[in-house]
Structures are given as C-alpha cells and as structure tokens.
Structure 1
C-alpha cells in the first residue's frame, strides 16, 4: 500500500511544478543541480530536491528572475538578517489575502470580534520597511472589505502616540486590539497606567509577534492591562509566527496556549513533547498555504510567497507534530478534554514548536544562554514589579582571556531606584532562573562556582539603552 502524502503536499507540488516552469531563477537552480521537475511527482521525489536559502538561491540570482515571469509584486518590505545587509521581500494581493484570513481567524474565532463590533486595531509594530506593521495594517484593511466594522491606526513604536490613542480614541470603540512586540506593548501599557489612562475599562486583546515569551509574562501583561479572557482564560492574547520571507505563517490558539502552560507546569508532560527547560512558542498553521518539513533539526517550508519559496531554509529550528499525533499525546496526558473545550477539534491543523535561535543567545564559556533563560528570573513573584522585563546580556574577557564574566544590564521599573538589596535580590533570582532552565549553565556553575554568577547592572527606567528606536529590543550584544 502506497504511503499517504503529508497534508499540504498536493499544493506544494503544484507550486513546485509551476515555479520550475515560470520562475526563471528556480528553473536555473534546478538545472544547476541536475533536477528534472517532470520526474518529481511524489513526496519521496520532493524531499530529494535541494533546499533553497538566502545565500545559495535568493542572492545567487538576478532579483527580477526570482518572480513568476519576472514580474515584481507591488508591496515591498525588507529584512536585514544576520549579515546586516537588507534583503527585499515583495508581496501582492494573494499574500495579503492569506494574511487577512489568518487575522480573521484570530479576531473572530479567538478574540470573539463580531462584524458589527466597532473595533480599533492599534498597530505598535515598526512601520518603515519592516513587514510586521504594514502587513498587520493591510490585513485589517482586508477585513474591512469583508464587512467588518474595523479601523486601524499605526502609531508604530512611538510610545507617546500609542498612549494618546488609548486615552483619547480607544474608549469610543467596542473592541481594542493592541498589536506589537511583547516588550514594547508592556512599555505602552505601563506608560498608559502611569498617565492614569483607564485601560482596564477597554475591552482589550493583545496581538504579539517577533519573539518568544513565557506564560508567566503573558499572565503579567494580562494582569496589568486588565484583559478579560474568553475560553476560560486562554484567549486574551495571541502570538503570530511570521517572517519577512513569507508573511504570517501560523499563530497560537487556545489549545496551543494550554499545551504551553501545561508544559511549563509539568516536567513530565514537557518531556513527553520532547522539551527540556526551554518551552518554545507553539503555533498551528495551514499546510495548504505553508508546507513544512524538517531537515537536520531545521524547518524547511514551501510557500506561495511574493517570491515563491521551495523547500526554503530560514534556519529556524523546531519540531512539527501533526494534529492526530497531538491528540494521542494529549489523551495520554489526560488533558484532551480540556483541549477540546478550547477548540482543539476546530483547529484541525499541525503544530510547530519553534526552537531557540542561537543568533540571539549570549555565549558564556562556550555555552548558549538564551533570553528565555534570563527572563525566568526577572518574572518571579518577588522581582517582576521592580523591573520592566527588558535586559541586555553580554560577556567580557578578563585576565588576558583566561576568565570570562557574564553581564546583564536590567532596566528598573518606573519610580524604582537602584539599591544594594534590590541588586542582590535580582541577581539571586536571575541565577536561580538560569540554573533551573539551562542544564549546561547548571553544570558550569558546579564546575567553576562563583565565576559563573551573573553580574547585574541596574539601569534606571527610560535609560536610552532600552528605548526601542527601530524595530525590536535587542536582548544581547557582542
């Protein structure tokens, strides 16, 4: 009996055949690697096709040849990538329609927004050349064309403008959706509270993207913003997994949030999912629009993006779990009934577990310390009220390179003054978080003792080092 093709492969194969025929660069790429697209007809054939990536495909061919019939779509965003040299990502109506439908699923099915609700979406993602802000804006405009009574305003990362909107404009709307990077949205909400804006009277939901955060962080930001949850507390906020390469790829659902929370609380369940101390972002995606594969621990995807992407390696690590496989896991863990109550059967799509990215880690004695490992200590009950949650980690060499020290600059909350006792409390909390969440750090601490302790530097609220000026907050520096 022939093995069944993975869900979404039919659409991926159609795109592959089409791109081989009408995308000049991809046709050349296949010929260069000796691939005859006529002979690629099964999944077993498809996985033998060489993967593409930015240096070996996108930058290796003429820009115009990357598009069907060399025609560039009308909207262009940029990404800098690890090299710092921008790459430009056009997209057209087809990609924005997919994004619009994804936002509709989030707004309608998770946030409970009705077409007749007067809804205001406040976009606090960077605008400029970055994709998140303009993509969210065009997705909202698409929703308006489908009959939703929805409006959008784009303060971008201007905190003062965002607070003014929450104070002066938001109260006349039925529903408010505040969209942005998690640390910046917390900044906006804290500033609004400091200015006596009664945000708890708003019917507010949060739309995140751009980075991983813990369930403790979600609880903190829900508490300070007075979010009123549906789905028994699992629908106040949603994080989107998106890239400049392909736009919005997947998003959280109440079921994925339940899975994350259970993994945070239950080490045995986390182990069942193949997780250790790092609990990743978990999203669901539509394989008809984005077809994912795993190759050597990295995610490959095939998508009808503005630049059609075949077996494209963005160098994100992770894991894919099918809906039926997840059903089995949840049943064994005795939480399937809870997941069903949260719409598990409604979103019958695969799950992606997004791994930690080494390019945002701090290297300390040859081990990687991820931002998530440090965030744990700053989110503890006896610490989080004294800090904003933002920090910058880095290492420095001493004694002619024989010793290395880990430094963590931490921004204090509004009105909090640096003090020796507070410094000691934060240092101990961060140390305990590191030892509990990073096995390699725990081993290092046993080996070198006090040398492994983090050096905490407290910065006053509003310190220029912590002001977001372009896009996202940088958690580490070299």
Structure 2
C-alpha cells in the first residue's frame, strides 16, 4: 500500500468511527453478518499469501465457496497448522508486515512469543467494544471519567491496546481522560487518591484478581473507594458472581450490572465480545439458578457470558469448540482459538429464560442506572435524577466461554501451562523426590483472593517435609519466571509463588492408580 492510500484509509476509517453512532454500528449485523464472513474469506484467499498456500495444499478453489454452508466446510486454521507454519509477513495482506503499524506478543508454553501485527483500523473495530461499555454501562457520555489502565504495559496486548482504544473514545467526544500506571499497584493507588476526586467516576481496567488486590490494599490503607464511583473493566479470567458481588460491595457498587464489564479478548484478534448490562443480569440469574445454567450450558460450571457483533467477529461452534472469523493485521478465517464454549442467539436466550420465568429486560428496567445530567450542568457525584429506560439492550447474539481446552489455567490473565511446571519438577535435587505427576489449578481462599495451587505426587517411599515442599515451590517458581513471560509480567510478585501440597504416590483424590492423569483442574 502506498503512503497516500494508507493515509486515506486511516482518514476514512477514523471519520467513520467518529461520526457513526454506536446504535448504528451495532445494528449492521441484522442484514449482513453472513455476507461479511464470506467477503472476508474471499479477500483473504486473494490477498494473504499464507492462506492462499493453505487452501492450495488442500486443493480448495476459493471461487467454489459461495454460501454459508460451503464456508462452514472450510478447514479450520489454528496456531499449529497455520500461524506457526508460515513467515509472519506471509500471514499479512500482500505479504507485507509493514502494512501494520503495531505488534503485540503472546507467550506460548515455551516462553517463545507469538507475534500479532495490527493496523490502526483494527484498533478502531475494537474501540467499539469499549464504546459499548463506556456508553451503555458507565454512561460516560454524561460523566467526566478517569480511565486508569492497570493492564501490564509492554509488548503484551492488554495495556497498549486498551490505552489506545480509550483515547479513540476521547477523540469521539467522550469526556474520558486516560492514565497508564500499568500493573504498578502503588502508582494506581496514588493516581486514584490524587486525581480521582477531580472526576465524576473512575474506571479501573485490568485483570480481575489484580484489581481485587488493588482494592483490598487500598481498603487496608484507608482508601474510601465509594467516593470515586468506581467502575471495573476486566479481561483474561472467568470469575464467579460471588466474586463480583464481593468486589462490588468493597468499592460501594450500587448496581453490578452497570458497574462491571468483562472483555472476552485475545492477543490473536483483540476483543471478541464483551459483557453488557443484559449479559451480566442473565449470568447473575443463572448463578442463582444452577439447574437453569446446566440446562443452558451443559455443564455445572458457569462460563464467561458476553455478547458479540457478528459483523466483525463471526463465531461458529465445532465439536464443542469456538471458531471465529475476523479482520486483523493477520486476518483469521475459521480460526480455532482452543476455547470451549458455544453461541446462543438473542431470541433463543430470551426464550430460554422465559421458560425459567425470568425476563432480564424487565429486571434491568427495575434496576437501571439512571441518566445523569449533561456535563455542563453537573457537579462531581451529583445526585442521580429519575431513572430512564436502561441502556445496553441490543439484539446481539451471545457467546459463552469456558476457557482453553488445551489444559492451561489462567491466572491474573497469564496462561500457565503444565509444561512450565514439569520443568520445575525435573531439576536436579527435585526430580529424585517426585514422580513428575502434579495437579495445577487456580483456587480462591475464603476472602476470594486467588492463588496458584500445585499438588505434587511424591515418589515411592519418599516422605514429605516442609523443606522439600518449599524447595519444590521455589523450583517451580523459578521455571515459571524463566519460561513464561506472561506469568513473569502479569502476576504481581506477592502472588507468584505457588502453594505446593505434597501427596503420597497413588493419592486417591489427585493421583488415582489406573486412571489417565490430568494435569490441570478448573
């Protein structure tokens, strides 16, 4: 792309973003979602060298793919069979990495990063997800707002991407001011205490367990969170509704459906979907009605539940896993992200809930965050006027996500792999004590703080001791820090040391004999 046409592309995309109302953007899918997926396929098949080669190897003629049914017969792409097989430039349009202006990294099981290029226009698509949250949930168009970026800053996708998207919303006219302390807890607390009172609300954006740690540390130091009208934007973790209620109580939240929003995001393609007041309202009902949740999701655990725009991210379900198609610096067609979950249409969701005698729209109307007065006439934290009809009700489909199917666990937004722990158990002085089997999981203590639990199987005739337990924990920690850059940079130092439990060989609960061993538990 020559500099002139690139410049024109940027100008047009930004003008469209600035001038198109949110409601208009969110209604496009009603007429064109299927054609958008097909158009993306034909564009990628014609212009992305790696995808051309991928189809050619399988003797697929792109011209024969003309219907949704034919599209859904295309082989899925994934990291192993596509992303890691081709040079980075070949994954981009016209084989040109320079067609992108930003690169983020995600850390794999070996600690070797996968790079994900993107262009300014890719971020504008994702900025609409943030606009949904800031407009529909936080009423930011009428409230002076301080956005505090608590995601890790650096090559990882969360911090820089989020900061950029919030700035684009400020350009669109939202009274948002952005500050970027990253995951520096001391700096976050200083920012809130010194700047928070100058705004009508403060939005903290970060990983759920880290934000809770910030809040709890603040309470211990006498921070009066409720005076700042705190809102939370989160990503990277599945959390319980009990967790949301507890954290909400600690910051003085009056309405969890409008004070929180979680993103379903990934380094591969930015934000795929987001919680809305409607999805939170539904999830809170399901948390209190486990039979209904089991009937809807087919499992006894509660997944993340978000809404998505099928015009920009087209989801499918295949063998219990999620595939999506979407435009990015590396365009992805039927991409298998290794997340298990499913999709539910808007109408099907409301119909299902009606059968359980629950109307989430009516429930939101009864609890909706009222409209605040216009900025010019308001004072910080002025009393709320009479409620209006609720925002955040869009006829968008739902996607639910249980998380990665490839045996990772997610901790402070970092994917932790069993392979990382294995290396810690294979070190000299450690390997003589253990069989190599372990169970890795993220647990919560009574105060809803998360910790990394590793139950380790001792070798035959080996006795457990406190010295050995501490040595094993230290070895696992050193290898996690060495191998997994997400763990090293996302997880605060005081939460990094795993809590190791030593179990005898053949322990019935964790290491039953004759049963195929699973190294992770959710």
TM over 0.5: yes
- 1:355 counterpart SS class: strand
1:302 equivalent to 2:291? Answer: no
Paired residues for 1:419-430 under 5 Å = none
Contact 1:122–1:155 (CA<8 Å) still a contact in 2?
Answer: yes
Deviation at 1:259, TM superposition (A): 2.0
Q: How large is the RMSD of aligned CA atoms in angstroms?
A: 3.0
In the alignment, the residues of structure 2 paired with residue 366 and residue 259 of structure 1 have an alpha-carbon distance, to the nearest angstrom, of: 39
Cα pair distance change 1:33/1:186, threshold 3 Å: same
Paired residues for 1:175-190 under 5 Å = 175-190=201-216
- Match of 1:84? 111
Kindly provide the CA deviation profile for residues 49-106 of structure 1, in whole angstroms up to 9, marking residues without a partner as x: 1111112111111211111112321011100133422011111122111121111110
Selected match of 1:161 from 182, 187, 194: 187
1:220 equivalent to 2:246? Answer: yes
- Match of 2:123? 96
Cα pair distance change 1:39/1:143, threshold 3 Å: same
Q: How many residues align?
A: 400
1:50 equivalent to 2:110? Answer: no
Paired residues for 1:326-405 under 5 Å = 326-336=349-359, 337-338=361-362, 341=365, 346-357=393-404, 358-360=407-409, 371=442, 374-375=443-444, 378=445, 383-384=446-447, 389-400=449-460
1:471 equivalent to 2:494? Answer: no
In the alignment, the residues of structure 2 paired with residue 350 and residue 398 of structure 1 have an alpha-carbon distance, to the nearest angstrom, of: 48
Deviation at 1:404, TM superposition (A): 11
Contact 1:397–1:403 (CA<8 Å) still a contact in 2?
Answer: no
Structure 2, unmatched stretches of 5+, are 1-29, 369-389, 411-416, 419-434, 470-480, 482-486, 501-518
In the alignment, the residues of structure 1 paired with residue 488 and residue 214 of structure 2 have an alpha-carbon distance, to the nearest angstrom, of: 14
- Match of 1:319? 342
1:62 equivalent to 2:103? Answer: no
TM-score w.r.t. the length of structure 2 is 0.71
Kindly provide the CA deviation profile for residues 279-319 of structure 1, in whole angstroms up to 9, marking residues without a partner as x: 01101000000001111111111000110001111101101
- Match of 1:36? 61
- Match of 2:162? 136
Contact 2:341–2:402 (CA<8 Å) still a contact in 1?
Answer: yes
Cα pair distance change 1:150/1:161, threshold 3 Å: same
Contact 2:118–2:330 (CA<8 Å) still a contact in 1?
Answer: yes
Kindly provide the CA deviation profile for residues 7-63 of structure 1, in whole angstroms up to 9, marking residues without a partner as x: 722111101001111111111111111110000011111112111111211111121
Contact 1:76–1:90 (CA<8 Å) still a contact in 2?
Answer: yes
- 2:338 counterpart SS class: strand
- Match of 1:245? 268
In the alignment, the residues of structure 1 paired with residue 450 and residue 89 of structure 2 have an alpha-carbon distance, to the nearest angstrom, of: 41
Contact 1:255–1:344 (CA<8 Å) still a contact in 2?
Answer: no
In the alignment, the residues of structure 2 paired with residue 404 and residue 207 of structure 1 have an alpha-carbon distance, to the nearest angstrom, of: 43
- 1:114 counterpart SS class: helix
Deviation at 1:221, TM superposition (A): 0.7
Kindly provide the CA deviation profile for residues 202-247 of structure 1, in whole angstroms up to 9, marking residues without a partner as x: 1210111111100000011111111233xxx411111000000110
1:290 equivalent to 2:345? Answer: no
Contact 1:397–1:404 (CA<8 Å) still a contact in 2?
Answer: no
In the alignment, the residues of structure 1 paired with residue 459 and residue 439 of structure 2 have an alpha-carbon distance, to the nearest angstrom, of: 22
- 1:347 counterpart SS class: coil
- Match of 1:13? 38
In the alignment, the residues of structure 2 paired with residue 79 and residue 303 of structure 1 have an alpha-carbon distance, to the nearest angstrom, of: 18
Contact 1:356–1:370 (CA<8 Å) still a contact in 2?
Answer: no
- Match of 1:24? 49
In the alignment, the residues of structure 2 paired with residue 287 and residue 126 of structure 1 have an alpha-carbon distance, to the nearest angstrom, of: 29
Contact 2:286–2:293 (CA<8 Å) still a contact in 1?
Answer: yes
- 1:235 counterpart SS class: helix
Selected match of 1:280 from 291, 303, 315: 303
In the alignment, the residues of structure 1 paired with residue 346 and residue 439 of structure 2 have an alpha-carbon distance, to the nearest angstrom, of: 32
Deviation at 1:161, TM superposition (A): 0.4
Selected match of 2:101 from 74, 82, 106: 74
